[in-house]
Amino acid sequence: MADDLRKGLEGVLVAESGLSSIDGDAGRLIYRGYSIETLAENASYEEVLYLLWHGELPTVDELEAFTASLNDERAVSDDVLATMERLADAGEEPMAALRTAVSMFSATEPEVDADHEDLEATLRKGRRITAKIPTALAAFERYRLGEAPVDPHPELGLAANFLYMLSGEEPDDVAAETFDQALILHADHGLNASTFAAMVIGSTMADIYGAVTGGVAALSGPLHGGANQDVMEVLIEIDESGKDPLEWVEEATASGRRIPGFGHRVYDVKDPRAKILQRRSEELAETGNSKWYDITTTIETYLSEEKGLVEKGIAPNVDFYSGSVYYQLGIPIDTYTPIFAMSRAGGWIAHVLEYQEDNRLIRPRARYTGPEGKEFVPLEKR
Ligand code: SDX
């Protein structure tokens, strides 16, 4: 039994997977053999979801049937809507509302008693969860604005439909394509913390609702999915400070402040997803307000070159440019991490299904450093 303790499981291999592969030194990411660049430029989120769950890109007929199966499951129960309204009125955080919604979806699951070892049933449940997340999240956002939820649009795909349910208007092509691409970029990423959390739950043969609920909880942390909101809040803080961005970031780093969106457990170079999102942010800036893109690139240049973080293997990650993209699309800032969850639910479900095919309960060990042989003293004598 190996006795080398690896805090945070850094670099520890715990499974084999054909879903995605990250080359942290070269800054490369592939899903089932396709580069993330190829998929982002040529596929839709639904095609990528099909690829992750079924192993191959769909044919025209397969995609049509798959998309229809997702669309058929978009509606959420009145109980879920009522809970979203209550949580919105109570000022609940969107990620907590989403975690609650996913847990509630199981109440209307038609196959709730299906054998947890029936992976086909688990896949059908996963499809229902993936289809319902955008509806529940958009409803929560609408309730927060004091507005009624917007019913899903029967003709729109998952990405465009979410923007539609959020605003009540059909998004233009640029917004729909940009958002669809962002969902592709966030769909899977090896055994990141939230995916591993979902796998641990799935490894006990608990149901997929529990695994996805656990994934949402893990993703909400600022060291993981929560960073995209933190990046946008930093950009706004800089803008409102009235200081030159360079002056602000010099002061911030001098005070030891960690800039969100920088650094990664696996990538030692710029995240390939950040490169794609940077291009999209620049395109949106050309037709909108370039301020956010300009501030972001100023920070990146300073941290990477002046502070030499890139030489230390600390570079922009997926969250660094996603903030300015979503902000320019008019998406509320505290919805950024729930959007990450909307996309990554597909990856969580894919990993649970893959792991359960050859399941082994995930149960690591800890080296005990506590005392031995303590004498018990009765309460009245302590
Ligand atoms: C995601 O795992 C995934 O795949 C995640 C993800 C996915 O798709 O699922 O890619 C999505 O979660 C991206 C990461 C989002 N988080 C942030 O942007 C938060 C800021 N980054 C960090 O807190 C940090 O980089 C982590 C948590 C992401 C990674 O942490 P590690 O690998 O444990 O590295 P570390 O925190 O030990 O830092 C190593 C060094 C440290 O220097 P020393 O203290 O050893 O001298 O890098 C420095 C850190 O100080 N460092 C930073 C920094 N992040 C790390 N210095 C300045 N600014 C930063 N943002």
Q: pLDDT tens digits, the chain, 382 residues: what are they?
A: 557 899 999 999 999 999 999 999 999 999 999 999 999 999 999 999 999 999 999 999 999 999 999 999 999 999 999 999 999 999 999 999 999 999 999 999 999 888 888 999 999 999 999 999 999 999 999 999 999 999 999 999 999 999 999 999 999 999 999 999 999 999 999 999 999 999 999 999 999 999 999 999 999 999 999 999 999 999 999 999 999 999 999 999 999 999 999 999 999 999 999 999 999 999 999 998 899 999 999 999 999 988 899 899 999 999 999 999 999 999 999 999 999 999 999 999 999 999 999 999 999 999 999 999 999 999 999 9
Cα 260 to averaged position of ligand 1 atoms, centre (Å):
8
What pLDDT shows up at residue 136?
98
Which bin fits 42, alpha (ψ -120 to 50), beta or left (φ > 0)? alpha
Q: Is 224 known to be catalytic?
A: yes
265 CA from centroid of ligand 1 (Å): 6
Give the Å distance between the CA of 245 and the centre of ligand 1: 22
Cα 346 to the chain's mean position, in Å?
Answer: 10
Q: By C-alpha distance, which of 263, 260, 250, 228 is closest to 302?
A: 250
- For atom 59 of ligand 1, which residue has the closest CA? 258
Q: Which of 30, 186, 224 to mutate to test the pocket of ligand 1 (most atoms within 8 A of CB)?
A: 224
Instruction: For 170-224, write each residue's pLDDT tens digit.
Output: 999 999 999 999 999 999 999 999 999 999 999 999 999 999 999 999 999 999 9
Here the tokens at position 92 are 């609940």
Question: 84 and 138 in contact (C-beta within 8 Å)?
Answer: no
Can you tell me the distance from the alpha carbon of 19 to that of 52, in angstroms, rounded to the nearest whole number?
6
The protein residue with its alpha carbon nearest to ligand 1, atom 9, reads 192
Domains of the chain, first to last = 28-220+335-356 (1.10.580.10), 227-328 (1.10.230.10)
The closest-lying atom of ligand 1 relative to the alpha carbon of residue 258 is: 58
Q: What CA–CA distance (Å, rounded) separates 367 from 370?
A: 9
Q: Give the Å distance between the CA of 268 and the centre of ligand 1.
A: 10
256 CA to centre of ligand 1 in angstroms: 14
Distance (Å, whole) CA 76 – CA 67: 17
* Separation between Cα atoms, residue 380 and residue 60, nearest integer Å: 76
Structural tokens at position 315: 């570079």
Choosing from 224, 268, 294, 334, which is the catalytic residue? 224
Going by the DSSP 8-state scheme, the letter that residue 56 receives in this structure is S
pTM above 0.75, yes or no: yes
Among protein residues, the one with the nearest Cα to ligand 1's atom 14 is 224
In the chain, how long is the greatest CA-to-CA distance? 77
Cα(186)–Cα(272) distance, rounded to whole angstroms?
12
Catalytic residue, from 188, 264, 271, 351: name it.
Answer: 264
The helix, strand and coil proportions of the chain, stated in percent and rounded to the nearest 5, come to 60, 5, 35
319 flagged as catalytic = yes
